[in-house]
């Protein structure tokens, strides 16, 4: 396999603040993110319209949502349909998804 020149900067650049997180659940299957996938998340406090972002729920646990800023709140979607939730003022965005990693081949049977 041969790779061409990069067309955009890598989210894994030195000094970048990127984390890897495992996805649990199929709520974002319509967006191509499946249970068991890993997402590369660039840590940041803001998200642009349409970003797939990690948003903290009231307990502080992060969940993936497609976000749409609306004045001082975010409209949250789990697919490309209408919003399913609206956050209160100044929701806590923890980062945006910059890549998805999925195991390409099933694990070999050790037997």
- Mean pLDDT per 10-residue segment, the chain (111 residues): 56 72 84 88 91 85 86 80 70 88 67 53
Q: Does residue 82 form part of some domain?
A: yes
Q: What is the pLDDT of residue 53?
A: 92
Q: Does residue 45 form part of some domain?
A: yes
Q: Does residue 3 form part of some domain?
A: no
Q: How far apart are CA 3 and CA 47, in angstroms?
A: 30
Please give the biggest Cα pair distance in the chain.
57
Q: Does residue 97 form part of some domain?
A: yes
State if pTM tops 0.95.
no
Q: Does residue 6 form part of some domain?
A: no
Q: Does residue 55 form part of some domain?
A: yes
The tally of domains found in the chain comes to 1
* Residue range(s) defining the domain that contains residue 67: 18-101
Q: Does residue 108 form part of some domain?
A: no
Q: Does residue 41 form part of some domain?
A: yes
């Amino acid at each position: 396999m041969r790779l061409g020149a990069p067309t955009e900067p890598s989210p894994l650049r030195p000094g970048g603040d990127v984390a890897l997180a495992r996805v649990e659940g199929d709520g974002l299957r319509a967006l191509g993110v499946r249970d068991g996938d890993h997402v590369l998340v660039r840590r940041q406090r803001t998200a642009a319209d349409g970003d797939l972002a990690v948003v903290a729920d009231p307990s502080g646990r992060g969940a993936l949502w497609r976000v749409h800023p609306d004045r001082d709140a975010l409209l949250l979607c789990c697919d490309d349909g209408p919003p399913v939730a609206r956050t209160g003022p100044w929701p806590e965005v923890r980062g945006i998804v910059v890549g998805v990693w999925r195991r390409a081949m099933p694990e070999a049977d050790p037997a």
